């Protein structure tokens, strides 16, 4: 699957961009421009889109702030239902669907996402619901924090490589100019 994605025309075009070439020359960015990070960002963007769509389509019944928190909860449920299999298969290359493996991954995945849900709901309740800050701006800020925290949890706690498995992630393909 990784080879198919890395050899896709989208990734090939992306790797030929001058900006990407410059970033790959930078020591910091050269370490993070790899398959795992890029696919996590793509899957994260899709998960975030699902979260936002559900959040903003939820009806609002008042101005107490509770409706904003409830919208965040519904959005979270939809996003997690998409995120687990997408991250498992496409980002972290965890191909086993044995019951034991799925439980070992799913329980901490949902736990980490529950913590994210709590953060997101509380953050939105306080900032948008009570303090009346700009709701879309607060949702963007909350999403950035949640995306970062969830990557760290997924990488180091949930889908970590087992002993003896290959740990190196392939880099973006070199430009063939």
Question: What is the residue extent of each domain of the chain?
Answer: 34-158
Q: What integer pLDDT is reported at residue 162 of this predicted model?
A: 64
Q: What integer pLDDT is reported at residue 64 of this predicted model?
A: 63
And the tokens for 161?
């490589």
Q: Which of 2, 5, 3, 37 is nearest to 20 (CA)?
A: 37
Tens digit of each residue's pLDDT (9 = 90 or more) over 72-110? 788 889 999 999 999 999 999 898 999 999 999 999 999
In the chain, which residues have pLDDT < 70?
Answer: 1-2, 5-6, 60-65, 162-177
> Residue 53: left if φ>0, alpha if ψ -120 to 50, beta else—which one?
alpha
Q: What integer pLDDT is reported at residue 5 of this predicted model?
A: 67
pTM score of the predicted model: 0.69
Q: Which residue has the tokens 């519904």?
A: 74
Q: What integer pLDDT is reported at residue 167 of this predicted model?
A: 44
């Amino acid at each position: 699957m990784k080879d198919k994605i890395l050899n896709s025309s989208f990734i090939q075009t992306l790797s030929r961009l001058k900006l990407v070439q410059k970033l790959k020359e930078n020591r910091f960015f050269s370490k993070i421009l790899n398959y795992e990070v890029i696919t996590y960002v793509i899957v994260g963007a899709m998960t975030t889109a699902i979260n936002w769509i559900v959040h903003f389509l939820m009806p609002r019944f008042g101005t107490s702030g509770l409706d904003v928190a409830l919208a965040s909860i519904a959005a979270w449920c939809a996003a997690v239902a998409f995120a687990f299999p997408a991250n498992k298969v496409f980002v972290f290359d965890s191909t086993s669907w044995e019951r034991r493996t799925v439980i070992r991954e799913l329980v901490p995945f949902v736990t980490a996402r529950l913590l994210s849900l709590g953060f997101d709901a509380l953050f939105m309740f306080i900032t948008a619901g009570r303090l009346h800050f700009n709701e879309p701006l607060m949702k963007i800020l909350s999403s950035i924090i949640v995306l970062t925290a969830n990557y760290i949890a997924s990488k180091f706690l949930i889908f970590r490589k087992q002993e003896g498995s290959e740990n190196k992630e392939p880099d973006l393909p070199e430009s063939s100019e």
